Amino acid sequence: EASQIPQRFLFYKPFMSSGMADRIIMEQELHKALAHQEFYLEYQPQVNLKTGNIESLEALVRWHHPTRGFVPPDMFIPIAEESGLIIPLGKWILETACCQAKAWEAQGLPQMKVAVNLSLGQLFQQDLVQMVKGILQQTKLEPHYLQLEITESMTMNIDQMTQLLHELKALGIQIAVDDFGTGYSSLSYLKDFPIDCLKIDRAFVRNIQHNPNDEALVSMIISMAKHLRLKVVAEGIEEVAQLAFLMDGGCDYIQGYLFSKPIAAEQLTETFQELHSH
Ligand code: C2E
Ligand code: CA
Ligand code: CA
Ligand code: CA
């Protein structure tokens, strides 16, 4: 193929080389970021539609770079994955989230679950189960207050995945399938995987008021989850009409800007303390 490309393009690949240079720089900066404490977590509430209570919070990592400013996770998580940094970063995220959940409990706030995203690289991490166990012991967070969010993926075989999830479940934690319906979905794994919860991706929820197909899909996912005795969270709820549809449809939890954006821990603490002082 290379022989078909005019020679001059082999010398000048400005887009590609600058892209690669950017990536290498970002990779180096990511390594420093962990040591320099440039990461922090925000938490987004998940609201129980029956009670109106916040029952859990999804931890979402944030990177505040000294000169670039805010770098979105969609941009740096893939680089962290490829460079292997996701292993120490993922550990830091889990420790920080569990520690924060325990701190809220100590401050007398109603105990909420904390949901932490696991990336693919972490699923392949040899000592993942030991690491989670160690963090639970160290932070003294009761295991059922931790939920791990995994995404469907075809890179790990079903048997391996089932085995791993059983080992994690044996610690007493909860497991959610994130971005449900967007990946390489195989419905058959739903019966084998020991999961507690499905999170319907925002892509399906976004147009439910306008698109009957999305409406049908969301209804189907909710009813399937009910039959499998799984809880359902709908992600990315921005409008009242979406909320109304989901309430009618029997969705268990919603998460989205309509209720709250992800917010810093301190701000959440203040909000809760205000709520409780009234
Ligand atoms: P995700 O796990 O599907 O997280 C949900 C994303 O949707 C978050 O984006 C959240 O801020 C956003 N979101 C929530 N409600 C709404 C809404 O109503 N409207 C819109 N437009 N967006 C909403 P965020 O924080 O930028 O994270 C993007 C992705 O980056 C996450 O998708 C996840 O795949 C990854 N990520 C974020 N934090 C972590 C982490 O701590 N660990 C790992 N492994 N991945 C993370
Ligand atoms: Ca998630
Ligand atoms: Ca998601
Ligand atoms: Ca996503």
Task: State the complex-level ipTM.
Answer: 0.98
C-alpha–C-alpha distance, residues 232 and 252, integer Å? 5
The residue contributing the CA closest to ligand 1 atom 10 is 262
SS3 226: helix
CA 6 / ligand 1 centre spacing (Å): 42
Contact 76, 243 (CB under 8 A): no
The separation between CA 92 and the C-alpha centre of its own chain, rounded to angstroms, equals 15
Ligand 1: atom nearest CA of 62 is 38
Q: What pLDDT does 154 receive?
A: 62
Q: Which of 64, 117, 197, 260 to mutate to test the pocket of ligand 1 (most atoms within 8 A of CB)?
A: 117
pLDDT level of residue 184 (50, 70, 90 thresholds): low
CA 262 / ligand 4 centre spacing (Å): 14
Q: In the predicted model, what is the mean pLDDT of residues 84-108?
A: 95
Q: What pLDDT does 116 receive?
A: 98
Going by C-alpha positions, the residue among 219, 131, 205 that lies closest to residue 173 is 131
The fraction of the chain above a pLDDT of 90, given in percent, is: 73
Give the angle 141-36-139 at the CA atoms, nearest 5°: 10
The model's pTM is: 0.92
Proximal ligand: closest to the CA of 233: 3
Tokens at 134, concatenated: 């160690």
The residue contributing the CA closest to ligand 1 atom 13 is 236
Residues having CB closer than 6 A to ligand 1 are 44, 59-61, 72-74, 77, 93, 117, 119, 178-179, 235-238, 255-257, 262
What are the tens digits of pLDDT across the range 21-71?
Answer: 888 888 999 999 999 999 999 999 999 999 999 999 999 999 999 998 999
Examine the pLDDT at 75 and tell me if it is beyond 60: yes
